[in-house]
Amino acid sequence: MTRVFDEDLETGFATRAIHAGQRPEPLAGAIMTPVYLTSTYVQEGLGQNKGYEYARGKNPTREALERNVAALEGGRHGFAFSSGMGCVDSIMKLFSSGDHIVCGENMYGGIFRLFDKLLGNYGLTFSWVDTRDPQRIADAMTAKTKLVFVETPTNPLMRICDLRAAADVAHRGNALLLVDNTFSSPYFQRPLEFGADMVYHSTTKYLNGHSDMIGGIAILNDDDLAVRLQFILNAAGAVPGPFDSWLALRGTKTLHLRMPRHDANGRQIAGWLAERLGEDKVIYPGLESHPQHALAKTQMSGFGGMISVELGTKEKANEVLSRCRLFSLAESLGGVESLISHPASMTHASVDIARRTQLGITEGMIRLSCGVEDVGDLLADLEHAFHVV
Ligand SMILES: *Cc1c(COP(=O)(O)O)cnc(C)c1O
């Protein structure tokens, strides 16, 4: 008898992380989902197949990842894409020329670039608002608004959006709520439980966790929306390869082991930085000094490893960056290794300077992605790097 993990069974997060979406491979019973390196599937006869026709539409390795992350987010359907941006681009194909989208003003830099420089050319219109205040979302909505799109915590300013309030506002206007959950991962925050209609991730970050692939994934509950997104996925084809899917799936199996360590290291380092530089210079939702700490606690069960620090000038930022040895200077986040970056010239370089300044993404800001190394070693590295400021 084939053992199949019963996804309807009430199980804990760790059990789901390890088992959900996985089925023993039928030929030999391999415990691990194979990397199905195939472009097509042999058909038994005309119109007769095992549910797989061509690998753009479906691949068993990709499917295992989709079912696994869907189970972690508490959603029914998952769709994996070749990158976080490819995922958002495909989601946007659910909408048509003339539709309006309300977005957070402090989204990941690439979202602004995609919407402002590309999708605007296809007749979609966007309003950028401060999603810390649900009233601002409501005020920006029009009869044409089809989607409210928020990120929480935001990158790199760590602003929090009240998910339940945002869902209420969106639904009152007959719009959907889409949430970028990349920074928290489903281990610390599950937006569908707060009323969001769709969640997406850059799987490149915490879900994969080992900085060795690029990918995206969307999770949702509504069956009709799922049919439409599967159609777009197959029609537009921004799908991940089976090996990248397999790497992400290997990553999610240890999400529940990695996240508490990212969180513990993040809290300790944020506390150290706040003491060293002053509370107002350190932005981390886990610090009591964070203006939305109380709200963050109601929808996040931990705060992870992302910390932003204001150093005042680009020169100081540069000095600190260049003195780090364990924290590597690089874009991206969420891997086991610690990274440090300069948002103004790296992740948010595509946002023009006037907008960046207005948002508060200054030239003196650096962003840390605390990995899962020994925290004493990370602190010693920062001690050395911050010696100059
Ligand atoms: C990296 C990132 C993205 C984009 O994902 P890619 O996999 O790089 O295309 C989107 N949102 C957030 C919050 C990210 O950190």
State the DSSP H helix or E strand holding residue 314, giving kind and residue range, or none if neither. Answer: helix 314-323
When mean pLDDT is compared across 6-10, 38-42, 213-217, 316-320, the lowest value belongs to 6-10
Beta bridge partners of 103: 128, 149
- Digit-coded pLDDT (tens) for 297-340: 999 999 999 999 999 999 999 999 999 999 999 999 999 999 99
Structure tokens at 26: 């039928």
Structure tokens at 315: 């020169």
Q: Which atom of ligand 1 is nearest to the CA of 204?
A: 7
Give how far the C-alpha of residue 265 lies from the chain's centroid of Cα atoms, to the nearest Å.
20
Give distance in angstroms: CA of 84 to centre of ligand 1: 5
Is the residue at 3 inside a domain?
A: no
Q: Which atom of ligand 1 is nearest to the CA of 216?
A: 7
Residue 352: per-residue pLDDT:
86
Residue 2: per-residue pLDDT:
45
pLDDT band at 54 (very low <50, low <70, confident <90, very high): very high
| 9: pLDDT strictly greater than 90 | no
Is the residue at 223 inside a domain?
A: yes
Residue 257: per-residue pLDDT:
98
The response to whether residue 149 sits with its C-beta less than 6 Å from ligand 1 reads no
- Digit-coded pLDDT (tens) for 196-219: 999 999 999 999 999 999 999 999
Which three-class secondary structure state does DSSP give residue 40?
strand
The Cβ-side half-sphere exposure at 237, using a 13 Å CA radius, reads: 5
Is the residue at 118 inside a domain?
A: yes
Of the residues 237, 252, 267, the one at which a domain ends = 252
Q: Does residue 272 share a domain with residue 227?
A: no
Domain range for 287 is 255-388
The response to whether residue 180 sits with its C-beta less than 6 Å from ligand 1 reads yes
Given the structure tokens 């009430």, which residue do they identify? Answer: 10
pLDDT band at 134 (very low <50, low <70, confident <90, very high): very high
pLDDT band at 388 (very low <50, low <70, confident <90, very high): confident
Residue 10: per-residue pLDDT:
85
Average confidence score pLDDT of the chain: 96
Residue 126: per-residue pLDDT:
98
Is the residue at 1 inside a domain?
A: no
Q: Does residue 22 share a domain with residue 167?
A: yes
Of the residues 198, 220, 252, the one at which a domain ends = 252
Nearest partner of 261 among 215, 209, 220, judged by Cα = 209
- Active-site positions read 56, 108, 180, 205
The response to whether residue 346 sits with its C-beta less than 6 Å from ligand 1 reads no
Is the residue at 349 inside a domain?
A: yes
| 70: pLDDT strictly greater than 80 | yes
DSSP assignment of 80-91? EESSHHHHHHHH
Is the separation of the CB atoms in 229 and 42 below 8 Å?
A: no
| 1: pLDDT strictly greater than 70 | no
Residue 202: per-residue pLDDT:
98
Residue 379: per-residue pLDDT:
98
Residue 23: per-residue pLDDT:
86
The response to whether residue 331 sits with its C-beta less than 6 Å from ligand 1 reads no
Of the residues 225, 252, 279, the one at which a domain ends = 252
- Digit-coded pLDDT (tens) for 176-197: 999 999 999 999 999 999 999 9
Any long-range contacts for 251-254 (C-beta under 8 Å, 24+ apart)?
A: 251/203, 251/207, 251/208, 251/209, 251/210, 252/17, 252/65, 252/68, 252/69, 252/72, 252/207, 252/208, 253/17, 253/18, 254/17, 254/209
Which three-class secondary structure state does DSSP give residue 199?
strand
Q: pTM score > 0.75 for this model?
A: yes
Give distance in angstroms: CA of 124 to centre of ligand 1: 21
| 4: pLDDT strictly greater than 70 | no
Q: Does residue 287 share a domain with residue 156?
A: no
Q: Does residue 203 share a domain with residue 134?
A: yes
Is the separation of the CB atoms in 179 and 62 below 8 Å?
A: no
DSSP assignment of 252-273? HTTHHHHHHHHHHHHHHHHHHH
The response to whether residue 106 sits with its C-beta less than 6 Å from ligand 1 reads no
Q: Closest Cα to atom 4, ligand 1: which residue? A: 84
- Digit-coded pLDDT (tens) for 263-283: 999 999 999 999 999 999 999
Kindly report the backbone phi and psi dihedral angles of residue 42, in degrees, each rounded to the nearest multiple of 5, phi listed first.
-70, 130
